[in-house]
Structure 1
Amino acid sequence: MFSIGDTVFYSAQGICSIEEIKEQKFGKEKQLYYTLRSHHNPNLTLYHPVNTDDSKLKRLMTKEQAVSVLQCFENIADPWDEKTNVRSHAYQATISSENHLKIAQMANTLLRRRTELETIDKKLPVQDAQVLQRVTTILYEELATALNTTASDISDQIDEIIEKN
Structure 2
Amino acid sequence: MFSVGDAVVYETQGVCKISEITSMTAGKVTREYYVLKPVYEDRSTVYVPVDNDAVVNSRMRFVFTVDEVNTIIKNVSDGNAMEWITDDAKRKEFCVNTLKKGDRAELMRLIGMLYSRQSELKEQKKHFHIADERYMKEAEKLINEEFAYVLGIDRKEVQNYIAKNIN
TM-score of the pair, normalised by structure 1: 0.87
User: Matched residues in 2 for 1:97 and 1:28: separation?
Assistant: 33
State the match for 1:33 in structure 2: 33
Shift of 1:115: 2.0
Output aligned runs, 1:80-159, within 5 Å: 80-158=84-162
Structure 1: gaps of 5 or more residues: none
* CA offsets 1:121-156 (integer angstroms, 9 cap, x no match): 333211111111111111111111222222211122
Shift of 1:64: 1.3
User: Matched residues in 1 for 2:27 and 2:12: separation?
Assistant: 23
Q: Is the 8 A contact 1:9 1:15 kept in 2?
A: yes
Shift of 1:96: 3.2
113-122 vs 72-81, greater mean Cα deviation: 72-81
State the match for 2:16 in structure 1: 16
**RMSD of equivalent CA atoms:** 2.1
User: Matched residues in 1 for 2:81 and 2:124: separation?
Assistant: 18
Change in CA separation of 1:125 and 1:50 when aligned onto 2, cut-off 3 Å: same
* CA offsets 1:90-135 (integer angstroms, 9 cap, x no match): 1122223332211211111112222222222333211111111111
Runs of 4+ more than 6 Å apart:
none
Shift of 1:28: 5.4
Shift of 1:159: 5.1
TM-score of the pair, normalised by structure 2: 0.86
* CA offsets 1:20-75 (integer angstroms, 9 cap, x no match): 11111346511000111112211011111112122121000111110122235533
Q: Is the 8 A contact 1:76 1:109 kept in 2?
A: no
Structure 2: gaps of 5 or more residues: none
How many residues end up aligned between the 2 structures? 163
124-133 vs 89-98, greater mean Cα deviation: 89-98
Change in CA separation of 1:31 and 1:91 when aligned onto 2, cut-off 3 Å: same
User: Matched residues in 2 for 1:119 and 1:157: separation?
Assistant: 26
Q: Is the 8 A contact 2:8 2:62 kept in 1?
A: yes
Taking every aligned residue pair, what percent have the same amino acid on both sides?
A: 25
User: Matched residues in 2 for 1:121 and 1:73: separation?
Assistant: 28
